[in-house]
Amino acid sequence: MFFYSFGELLSVMGGTIFQLLVPFIALVIFIKKKDYFSISFSLFWLGTNMFNIARYLSDATNQFLPLLHLGTGEPIHDWNYLLSRFGQLENTLIISDFVYTLGYICIFVAIVTGIHVSFREYKSSKIKCIDGLHNNTHT
């Protein structure tokens, strides 16, 4: 609905834009704050959204998935419309596989980052705990 006033193309692309933009904005905010665990969360969120986009994208030629429609008239399949408009409908599976791959990469990096940050925090808290015990025994 937000992109409706920007014309047909952006209106059709609006759902996908928001699916990518919202977690990306969160990612940028957390990068600026150097909140590494939240960065991994944002990457995971972005990756799962890419899976949803790729699934819907892969349905562009067959159109088996149910369509949501808020306006009047016949609902359209966003990705069928977009890929047809740009002459890429025959490349649907290649494009959806590429988006799936990007999703897997985001999720893999998110998991590795989350594990790394968790272990680093665990080691740091363990060292602080040991130092605290060591300092308390000498007073």
Does a structural domain hold residue 116? no
pLDDT at site 135: 62
d(CA 39, CA 31): 6
> Nearest-5° angle of CA 12, CA 76, CA 9?
20
pLDDT at site 88: 94
pLDDT at site 70: 63
d(CA 14, CA 104): 23
Does a structural domain hold residue 63? yes
d(CA 73, CA 81): 15
Classified as helix, coil or strand, 35 is coil
Does a structural domain hold residue 58? yes
Contacts of 83 (CB under 8 A, 6+ apart): 57, 60, 89, 91, 92, 95
- Could you give the number of structural domains in the chain? 1
Q: List the chain pLDDT tens, one digit each, 139 residues.
A: 555 555 577 777 878 999 999 999 999 999 999 999 999 999 999 999 999 999 999 999 998 988 766 667 777 888 998 999 999 999 999 999 999 999 999 999 999 999 999 888 877 776 555 555 556 555 4
pLDDT at site 136: 59
pLDDT at site 74: 78
pLDDT at site 71: 66
Amino acid at 118: S
Does a structural domain hold residue 8? yes
Does a structural domain hold residue 34? yes
pLDDT at site 11: 74
CB 40 within 8 A of CB 27: no
Structural domain of residue 12, as residue ranges? 2-111
Does a structural domain hold residue 20? yes
pLDDT at site 123: 76
Query: Environment class of residue 126 by beta-carbon count within 10 Å: exposed (0-12), middle (13-18) or buried (19+)?
Result: exposed
Does a structural domain hold residue 125? no
